[in-house]
């Protein structure tokens, strides 16, 4: 894969950093909304002053996170893409984000565009209709108190990427002796202050074209109805092996592709942003507006994650050879539980993605159908995961307006369809799913590493400590940069408990371990430090 491909892989990983925080904040908002629903907690709780103050506090905290998402994404992009000195990159990203918007502000002011001249009343005074005035005024916003274009998360990503490119180029720079103090990492914030305002100036002239193109794409998807939803979900699943599904998800969640609404001269951009705004501001958005946003969110995943994939796990267990059933049962049970409760599916998906394209295509099509049918049935369940937690918090506790029972009805269909289809394809094509693969002895290096524990086995499987250049992780994948891909030993990694391995580029490998990957990554890093000391 090209260097550009590596960059996109790393960017997708970096953008997952703030998503985990936002998903958790969304759960708290969902619980707060449930505690304000008299049908759930009764009228007494609604009038309990202490409880309402707690709920108000939760909304304030979550609202602050959502309001500053662009800044969080700028920091995440810089930290995730920085080669070294990540704290410096984070600081520079904050500086870059601010100064980029200062550059945009300077350009807008020079063009006579100010908060006063871009207000709804000012546009209506120029002869615009009220709808046109509201839409035009919504193109502008105050970002950290700076009047700028409403660039949402995309503006933060641009600031983070430009900043980290400067960081990676200059964090080791050596200056002449007289000014050597300002060299190295200290030079990064300095060059950021110089370059990012200029980027902001340039961006101010091309942003209207970018925004217009994104809005038109969003309108096209919106006008496509359930068909557009189907193709979004189908594409998202097909991209799973590449890791690029994160890019598609964030585009829908935080850009006009996922929808845009205007409230009190403020633009709420992206499906997840709209849903979270509705949670934080009860009654300010109509249910049909929120429902249009949630068609891209958790509701389409629930029949697949809670019912379909656990059924697939059962089929894989039943089809395993007798001597392997106990091992496969433990593996599939862990994957099915993760999928059912949290919506984390990759440990299960990678047990069949590469061994049977037919199973993978079937799974992708069924996911697309789940999203499309959930939309047609009027389901309104948001957030990002799609497991039991989201179903309970944003579905059942959300009340009758969420139409959560349709998710259960679809699930009741998806379970037998997945089970019998998986069973039929596995047996008919002799697919090498877990427990049906040919038995091979592990290589000597893998067996030697096993004696030193799972972490040592992982390091051996990655080609040894000298072959490992960087270690990181996302929700389910250990992401490693290696010097020589030929030294990677997949049997050793499989023996360490990996459910799948992706050679993303010539130097990037992703090893799927599931929700426990964070502790695995930490153990590998600590082991490498011990070996180096």
- Each residue's pLDDT tens digit, 300-353: 999 999 999 999 999 988 888 888 888 788 878 888 888 888 787 877 887 788
Q: Which of 195-209, 258-272, 324-338, 503-517 has the highest mean pLDDT?
A: 195-209
Between the alpha carbon of residue 55 and those of residues 38, 63, 151, 307, the distances in Å are 14, 12, 30, 33
Q: What is the mean pLDDT of residues 426-444?
A: 69
Is the per-residue pLDDT at 9 higher than 70?
A: no
Dihedral sign of CA atoms 58, 61, 64, 66 in order: negative
User: What percent of the chain stands above pLDDT 70?
Assistant: 88
Rounded mean pLDDT of the chain?
82
Q: What is the mean pLDDT of residues 170-199?
A: 88
Q: What is the mean pLDDT of residues 227-249?
A: 82
Annotate 315-346 with b (16+ C-beta within 10 A) or e (fewer).
Answer: bbbbbbeeebeeebbebbebbbbbbbbbbbbb
User: In CATH, what number does 444-532 get?
Assistant: 3.30.1360.60
Integer Cα distance of 90 and 74 in angstroms: 8
Q: Which residues pair with 472 in a beta bridge?
A: 479
Helix (H) or strand (E) holding 274: helix 271-280
Helix (H) or strand (E) holding 481: strand 477-482
Higher pLDDT, 148 or 21: 148
Q: Give phi and psi for 37, each to the nearest 5.
A: -100, 110
CB 469 within 8 A of CB 508: no
Rg (CA), the chain: 25
For 267, the 3-state DSSP assignment is strand
Q: Taking the domains of the chain in order of start, what are their residue ranges?
A: 3-228, 298-429, 444-532
Is the per-residue pLDDT at 444 higher than 60?
A: no
Is the per-residue pLDDT at 245 higher than 80?
A: no
Given phi > 0 = left and psi -120 to 50 = alpha, else beta, which region is 480? beta
Q: Identify which of 224, 228, 185, 215 has the alpha carbon closest to the alpha carbon of residue 91.
A: 185
Q: Which of 260-264, 400-404, 440-444, 461-465 has the highest mean pLDDT?
A: 400-404
Q: What is the mean pLDDT of residues 236-243?
A: 78
Q: Which residue has the tokens 């789940």?
A: 370
Entry pTM: 0.72
Higher pLDDT, 24 or 271: 271
Is the per-residue pLDDT at 114 higher than 80?
A: yes
Q: What is the mean pLDDT of residues 391-397?
A: 87
CB 111 within 8 A of CB 228: no
For 368, the 3-state DSSP assignment is helix
Query: In this predicted structure, what is the pLDDT of residue 523?
Result: 83
Beginning with the edge strand found earlier in the chain, give each strand of the sheet holding 477-482 in spatial order. 468-473, 477-482, 508-512, 500-503
| Residue 269 pLDDT grade (very low, low, confident, very high; cuts 50, 70, 90) | confident
Is the per-residue pLDDT at 447 higher than 50?
A: no
Q: DSSP readout, 313-334?
A: HHHHHHHS-GGGHHHHHHHHHH
Is the per-residue pLDDT at 397 higher than 80?
A: yes
Q: Give Cα 438 to chain centroid, integer Å.
A: 36
Is the per-residue pLDDT at 465 higher than 60?
A: yes
Lowest mean pLDDT among 25-29, 143-147, 193-197, 311-315: 25-29
Q: DSSP readout, 32-98?
A: HHHHT-HHHHHHHHHT-HHHHHHHHHHHHHHHHHHHTHHHHHHHHHHHHH-SS-HHHHHHHHHHHHH
Longest dimension (CA), the chain: 80
Q: Which residue has the tokens 């035009």?
A: 136
Long-range contacts of 140-147 (CB under 8 A, 24+ apart): 140/108, 140/113, 140/115, 141/266, 141/267, 142/115, 143/70, 143/101, 144/68, 144/71, 144/97, 144/98, 144/101, 146/98, 146/101, 146/102, 146/104, 146/105, 147/105, 147/108, 147/109, 147/114, 147/115
Query: In this predicted structure, what is the pLDDT of residue 42?
Result: 57
Integer Cα distance of 361 and 29 in angstroms: 35
Strands (E), 150-302: 260-263, 266-269
Helix (H) or strand (E) holding 509: strand 508-512
Is the per-residue pLDDT at 102 higher than 90?
A: yes
Is the per-residue pLDDT at 467 higher than 90?
A: no
Q: Which residue has the tokens 């633009």?
A: 267
Q: Which residues are catalytic?
A: 474
CB 100 within 8 A of CB 197: yes
Query: In this predicted structure, what is the pLDDT of residue 320?
Result: 86
Is the per-residue pLDDT at 448 higher than 50?
A: no
- What digits encode the pLDDT tens for the residues 41-83? 556 655 667 777 777 787 778 777 777 888 988 998 898 888 8
Q: What is the mean pLDDT of residues 416-440?
A: 84
């Amino acid at each position: 894969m090209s260097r550009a491909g590596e960059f996109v892989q790393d960017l997708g990983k970096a953008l997952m950093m703030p998503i985990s925080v936002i998903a958790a904040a969304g759960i708290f908002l969902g619980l707060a909304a449930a505690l304000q629903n008299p049908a759930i907690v009764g009228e007494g709780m609604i009038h309990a002053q202490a409880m309402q103050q707690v709920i108000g506090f939760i909304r304030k905290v979550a609202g602050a996170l959502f309001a500053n998402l662009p800044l969080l994404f700028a920091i995440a992009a810089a930290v995730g893409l920085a080669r070294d000195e990540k704290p410096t990159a984070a600081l520079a990203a904050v500086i870059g984000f601010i100064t980029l918007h200062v550059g945009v502000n300077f350009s807008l002011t020079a063009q006579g565009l100010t908060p006063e001249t871009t207000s709804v009343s000012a546009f209506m005074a120029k002869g615009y209709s009220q709808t046109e005035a509201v839409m035009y005024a919504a193109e502008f916003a105050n970002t950290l108190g700076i009047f700028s274009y409403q660039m949402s998360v995309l503006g933060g990503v641009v600031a983070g990427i430009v900043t980290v490119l400067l960081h990676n180029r200059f964090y080791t720079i050596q200056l002449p002796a007289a000014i050597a103090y300002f060299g190295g990492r200290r030079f990064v914030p300095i060059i950021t202050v110089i370059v990012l305002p200029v980027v902001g100036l340039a961006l101010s002239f091309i942003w209207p074209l970018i925004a217009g193109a994104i809005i038109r794409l969003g309108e096209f998807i919106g006008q496509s109805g359930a068909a557009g939803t189907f193709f979004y979900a189908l594409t998202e699943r097909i991209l799973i092996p590449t890791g690029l599904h994160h890019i598609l998800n964030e585009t829908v969640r935080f850009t006009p592709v996922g929808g845009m609404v205007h409230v009190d001269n403020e633009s709420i951009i992206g499906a997840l942003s709209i849903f979270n705004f509705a949670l934080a501001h009860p009654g300010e958005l109509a249910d049909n507006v929120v429902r249009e946003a949630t068609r891209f969110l958790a509701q389409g995943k629930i029949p697949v994650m809670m019912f379909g994939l656990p059924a697939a796990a059962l089929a894989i267990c039943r089809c395993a050879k007798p001597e392997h059933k106990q091992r496969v049962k433990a593996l599939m049970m862990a994957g099915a539980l993760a999928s059912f409760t949290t919506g984390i599916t990759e440990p299960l998906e990678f047990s069949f993605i590469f061994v049977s394209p037919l199973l993978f295509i079937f799974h992708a099509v069924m996911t697309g159908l789940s999203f499309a049918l959930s939309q047609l049935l009027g389901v309104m369940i948001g957030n990002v995961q799609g497991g039991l937690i989201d179903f309970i918090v944003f579905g059942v506790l959300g009340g009758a307006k969420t139409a959560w029972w349709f998710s259960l009805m679809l699930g009741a269909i998806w379970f037998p369809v997945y089970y019998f289809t998986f069973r039929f394809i596995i047996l008919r094509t002799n697919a090498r799913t877990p427990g049906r693969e040919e038995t091979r002895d592990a290589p000597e290096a893998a067996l030697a590493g096993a004696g030193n524990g799972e972490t040592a086995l992982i390091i051996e499987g990655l080609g040894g400590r000298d072959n490992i250049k960087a270690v990181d992780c996302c929700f389910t994948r250990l992401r490693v940069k290696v010097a020589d891909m030929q030294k990677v030993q997949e049997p050793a990694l499989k023996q360490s408990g990996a459910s799948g391995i992706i050679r993303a580029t010539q130097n990037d490998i992703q090893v799927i371990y599931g929700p426990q990957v964070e502790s695995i990554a930490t153990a590998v890093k600590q082991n490498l430090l011990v070996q180096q000391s």
